[in-house]
Amino acid sequence: MVSKVALLLTVLVCSQYMAQGVYVVSKAEWGGRGAKWTVGLGNYLSYAIIHHTAGSYCETRAQCNAVLQSVQSYHMDSLGWPDIGYNFLIGGDGNVYEGRGWNNMGAHAAEWNPYSIGISFLGNYNWDTLEPNMISAAKQLLQDAVNRGQLSSGYILYGHRQVSATECPGTHIWNEIRGWSHWSG
């Protein structure tokens, strides 16, 4: 009887996970610190902004955990931000990692933060290249954002360089996202 109850609970948890969309590795799972404070972010946002961290690339969960901790330390300790700047980050392992997460305003694109979610790829995409699993993860995350009501169904996708004087998100990402639905030139 206990095993049947355990099986039923497992099925319910898995179906809940599937109904909620893409799996996001939580900040606790990658060893991140909690935010010092947060500012809420509305729903049905009009923009998603794509970035790169311009730092180290990672291919394994362990490598990505270390890179994420480094990015968070830079943002919090050097820049004085209350948390890592992006809502979500994507590693070379194809995992989506929680940054500030859903419904928390990021610090990724100055005046655009209240109106957008920020998604960053770990690495420097002036020379690193996107793998198919990373592209798939980003597209699934964007669709999940629409399904959850975080992004409006007619959202506009920008590369960071379109809203700020920067090379971000790097040439390889820039060339990729210009072919995605919702991208606006």
CATH code, domain carrying 136: 3.40.80.10
Q: Tell whether 60 is covered by a domain.
A: yes
**Which domain covers residue 114, as residue numbers?**
39-178
Classify burial at 67, counting beta carbons within 10 Å of its beta carbon; exposed 0-12, middle 13-18, buried 19 or more: buried
Question: How high is the pLDDT of residue 2?
Answer: 54
Q: Tell whether 21 is covered by a domain.
A: no
Contact partners, residue 184, CB within 8 Å, separation at least 6: 156, 157, 158, 162
Q: Tell whether 18 is covered by a domain.
A: no
Question: How high is the pLDDT of residue 21?
Answer: 81
Question: How high is the pLDDT of residue 174?
Answer: 97
Question: How high is the pLDDT of residue 20?
Answer: 60
Q: Tell whether 161 is covered by a domain.
A: yes
Q: Tell whether 15 is covered by a domain.
A: no
Q: Tell whether 4 is covered by a domain.
A: no
Question: How high is the pLDDT of residue 19?
Answer: 42
Question: How high is the pLDDT of residue 3?
Answer: 53
Q: Counting runs of H as helices and runs of E as strands, what totals does the chain give?
A: 5, 6
Q: How is residue 23 written in tokens?
A: 């799996």
Question: Which residues in the chain come in under a pLDDT of 70?
Answer: 1-20
Question: What is the count of structural domains for the chain?
Answer: 1
Classify burial at 149, counting beta carbons within 10 Å of its beta carbon; exposed 0-12, middle 13-18, buried 19 or more: middle
